[in-house]
């Protein structure tokens, strides 16, 4: 029938006899795919070398300042005991001061959460200047404290309070410094430059230890207990002012500034990382809990070994191995200096062979060398003690040199400071800073001087497993950031070889989402 045929023909453009749309109609309705975005030279960040050096120096002074105090306090534990708890036995004094040291690290997670969140909102540079000022002021104030003879137990309470304040500020220091330097450095040299932070850390520790040793040799133990112990803390005042001056001269990291600008411009099209940052610490944990857990385990293993070597070893040599306070301090200084000078070498090695292989060297060598190290220390001779300390320092050199470059690369730029503040500080609080207290308690409760070795082996065994799940980041752009290179020539070569380069995934790069950029081409990850 003509009418029916006409109706059938007219509806065929929309549906066929089976009630489905023809391919031509589907194709017309399907959104048009935009061309894949290509990496251009203008997308690649070329490092400003003078600014990189200034940023590196400004962050190193803060880390040096932090570990200077750690060294001073750790090496003065047996001296400060009679000042704050003169009526207690030596074991109780040591446990109190080691517990006070641990309290510093218990306060770090809160500082890491607060300063990390602020660092992702207002900028790395401002927060790093703030944490340094609080840290220097609280260290200086310790040198002004009255002792037990003046105000009784209030002296010990005030000491704990100041160390807690110091721990709160320190919570934002290392996470911010590693984030800052990682964002400044070129992708292929991030391990090398970031490792200088830990070189500064351990040199600061050695400086504090050396100063304490000189004072002990020149003033004597009685004078040190009377007033000499105050000098290293009081010196933190002028040292802190110098450090704040250098840090105030550095500019915001280019990677974070680019992300901040993009967040302001693309507020309606926020990425997952932006959303996590906007939600604060809870949003960061929900979005990145897997890499946070992995990072925490790696940090725990590395810092257990690190703090055993630095903060606990003087106490161990004095209370368990019969050395006096001066020799307990002096023996560790040369080992720390040599280790510090080797840290950039292992950082550079990680740029060549990868972060994970170098971290595995740290974990496996801890497991293998821990028992021989403490057996050598137990011989009681100067040469054997130095050899044992060197065996403890060897894995620490491979561990700590790579935390500063590998951990920030686990998180996107918009949430990096906050995630680092959570992962690093919770791990250090639970395992790193409590290591001296836990190990001393294990020795006293078991009577076995080899407990430190067993403890280090256990934490590194778990750490070795966590390293397997750590995302390799050597020579790759930071998540949420464009590639970063040293020269214009490298930028041109990177753009030219972007299709063959296995380290560059264009689909994961944070291209601008606004159509007026790049002539209206494809949005991010189109």
pTM of the model: 0.78
pLDDT at residue 469, as a whole number: 95
Q: Which residues pair with 485 in a beta bridge?
A: 46
Per mean pLDDT, which range of 204-213, 317-326, 395-404 is the poorest? 317-326
- Average confidence (pLDDT) over 216-225: 88
pLDDT at residue 273, as a whole number: 44
Tally of CA atoms within 13 A in the half-sphere of 91 that contains its CB? 7
Asked if residues 334 and 203 have their Cβ atoms less than 8 Å apart, the reply is: no
Element holding 485 (H helix, E strand): strand 484-485
Q: How far apart are the first and last CA of the chain?
A: 50
DSSP 8-state secondary structure symbol assigned to residue 429: I
Quote the CA–CA distance of 71 and 90 in Å, as a whole number: 20
Q: Which of 107-121, 316-330, 336-350, 424-438 has the highest mean pLDDT?
A: 336-350
The answer on pLDDT for 312 being more than 70 is yes
For CA atoms 368, 360, 432, 135, the dihedral sign is: positive
Per mean pLDDT, which range of 52-56, 73-77, 439-443, 517-521 is the poorest? 517-521
Model confidence band, residue 274 (pLDDT cutoffs 50, 70, 90): very low
Model confidence band, residue 23 (pLDDT cutoffs 50, 70, 90): low
Range list of H helices, 280-331: 281-307, 313-319, 325-330
pLDDT at residue 234, as a whole number: 94
Per mean pLDDT, which range of 89-98, 170-179, 386-395 is the poorest? 89-98
pLDDT at residue 6, as a whole number: 46
Per mean pLDDT, which range of 129-133, 230-234, 244-248, 256-260 is the poorest? 256-260
Domain-wise residue ranges, the chain = 46-258+277-478
Model confidence band, residue 263 (pLDDT cutoffs 50, 70, 90): low
The answer on pLDDT for 14 being more than 50 is no
pLDDT at residue 520, as a whole number: 36
pLDDT at residue 406, as a whole number: 94
The answer on pLDDT for 259 being more than 90 is no
Asked if residues 399 and 359 have their Cβ atoms less than 8 Å apart, the reply is: yes
pLDDT at residue 448, as a whole number: 87
Could you tell me which of 406, 413, 428 has the C-alpha nearest to residue 112? 428
Model confidence band, residue 260 (pLDDT cutoffs 50, 70, 90): low
Residues 6+ apart with CB under 8 A from 312: 74, 98, 435, 436, 439, 440, 452
pLDDT at residue 250, as a whole number: 77
46-258+277-478, what's its fold?
A: Growth Hormone; Chain: A; (1.20.1250)
Q: Which of 25-29, 269-273, 343-347, 442-446 has the highest mean pLDDT?
A: 343-347
Per mean pLDDT, which range of 137-151, 189-203, 263-277 is the poorest? 263-277
**Greater pLDDT, 449 or 484:** 484
Q: Each residue of 293-311: pLDDT tens digit?
A: 999 999 999 989 988 888 7
Q: What percent of the chain has pLDDT over 90?
A: 30
- For residue 232, give Cα distances in angstroms to 60, 72, 75, 143, 210: 20, 7, 11, 8, 10
Quote the CA–CA distance of 413 and 189 in Å, as a whole number: 18
The answer on pLDDT for 414 being more than 90 is no
Per mean pLDDT, which range of 17-31, 118-132, 249-263, 367-381 is the poorest? 17-31
The answer on pLDDT for 193 being more than 90 is yes
pLDDT at residue 299, as a whole number: 94
pLDDT at residue 272, as a whole number: 47
DSSP 8-state secondary structure symbol assigned to residue 413: G
pLDDT at residue 327, as a whole number: 74
pLDDT at residue 1, as a whole number: 46
Residues 6+ apart with CB under 8 A from 432: 105, 299, 300, 303, 304, 306, 307
The answer on pLDDT for 378 being more than 90 is no
pLDDT at residue 11, as a whole number: 45
Model confidence band, residue 22 (pLDDT cutoffs 50, 70, 90): low
The answer on pLDDT for 475 being more than 70 is yes
Per mean pLDDT, which range of 208-212, 322-326, 391-395 is the poorest? 322-326
Entry field: residues in the chain:
526
pLDDT at residue 265, as a whole number: 55
Instruction: Tell me the pLDDT of the chain averaged across its residues.
Output: 82
**Greater pLDDT, 278 or 280:** 280
Q: Each residue of 30-85: pLDDT tens digit?
A: 555 445 678 888 888 888 888 888 888 888 887 888 788 877 887 787 788 888 88
Count of H helices and E strands in the chain? 25, 2
Tell me the two tokens of residue 454.
Answer: 């067993």
pLDDT at residue 345, as a whole number: 95
Could you tell me which of 328, 315, 258, 301 has the C-alpha nearest to residue 466? 301
pLDDT at residue 21, as a whole number: 55
């Amino acid at each position: 029938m003509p009418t029916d045929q006409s109706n059938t023909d007219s509806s065929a453009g929309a549906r066929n006899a089976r009630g489905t749309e023809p391919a031509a109609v589907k194709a017309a309705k399907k959104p048009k795919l935009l061309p894949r975005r290509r990496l251009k030279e203008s997308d690649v960040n070329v490092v400003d070398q003078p600014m990189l050096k200034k940023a590196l120096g400004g962050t190193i002074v803060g880390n040096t300042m932090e570990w200077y105090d750690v060294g001073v306090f750790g090496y003065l534990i047996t001296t400060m005991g009679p000042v704050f708890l003169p009526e207690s036995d030596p074991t109780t004094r040591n446990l109190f001061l080691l517990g006070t040291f641990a309290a510093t690290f218990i306060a770090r997670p809160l500082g890491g959460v607060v300063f990390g969140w602020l660092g992702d909102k207002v900028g790395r540079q401002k927060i790093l200047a703030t944490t340094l000022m609080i840290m220097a002021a609280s260290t200086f104030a310790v040198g002004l404290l009255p002792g037990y003879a003046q105000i009784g137990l209030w002296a010990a309470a005030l000491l704990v309070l100041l160390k807690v304040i110091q721990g709160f500020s320190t919570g934002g220091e290392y996470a911010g410094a590693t984030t800052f330097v990682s964002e400044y450095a070129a992708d292929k040299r991030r391990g090398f430059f970031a490792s200088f932070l830990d070189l500064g850390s351990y040199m600061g520790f050695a400086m504090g230890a050396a100063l304490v040793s000189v004072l002990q040799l020149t003033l004597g133990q009685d004078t040190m207990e009377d007033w000499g112990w105050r000098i290293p803390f009081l010196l933190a005042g002028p040292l802190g002012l110098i450090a704040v001056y250098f840090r105030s001269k550095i500019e915001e990291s280019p990677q974070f500034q680019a992300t901040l600008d993009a967040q302001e411009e693309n507020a309606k099209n926020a990425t997952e990382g932006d959303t996590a940052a906007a939600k604060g610490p809870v949003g960061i944990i929900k979005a990145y809990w897997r890499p946070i857990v992995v990072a925490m385990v790696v940090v725990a293993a590395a810092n257990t070994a690190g703090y055993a070597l630095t903060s606990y070893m003087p106490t161990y040599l004095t209370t368990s191995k019969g050395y006096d306070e001066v020799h307990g301090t002096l023996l560790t200084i040369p080992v720390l200096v040599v280790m510090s000078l080797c840290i950039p070498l292992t950082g550079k090695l990680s740029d060549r062979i990868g972060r994970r292989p170098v971290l595995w060297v740290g974990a496996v060598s801890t497991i293998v060398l821990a028992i021989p190290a403490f057996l050598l220390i137990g011989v009681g001779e100067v040469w054997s003690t130095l050899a044992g300390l060197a065996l403890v320092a060897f894995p620490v050199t491979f561990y700590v040199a790579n935390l500063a470059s590998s951990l920030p690369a686990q998180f996107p730029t918009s949430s990096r400071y906050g995630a680092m503040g959570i992962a690093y500080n919770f791990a250090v609080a639970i395992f790193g800073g409590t290591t001296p207290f836990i190990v001393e308690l294990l020795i006293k409760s078991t009577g076995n001087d080899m407990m430190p070795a067993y403890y280090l082996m256990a934490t590194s065994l778990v750490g070795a497993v966590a390293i397997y799940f750590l995302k390799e980041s050597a020579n790759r752009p930071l998540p949420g950031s464009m590639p970063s290179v040293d020269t214009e020539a490298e930028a041109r070569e990177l753009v030219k070889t972007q299709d063959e380069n296995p380290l560059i995934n264009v689909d994961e790069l944070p291209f601008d989402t606004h159509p007026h950029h790049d002539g209206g081409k494809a949005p991010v990850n189109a």
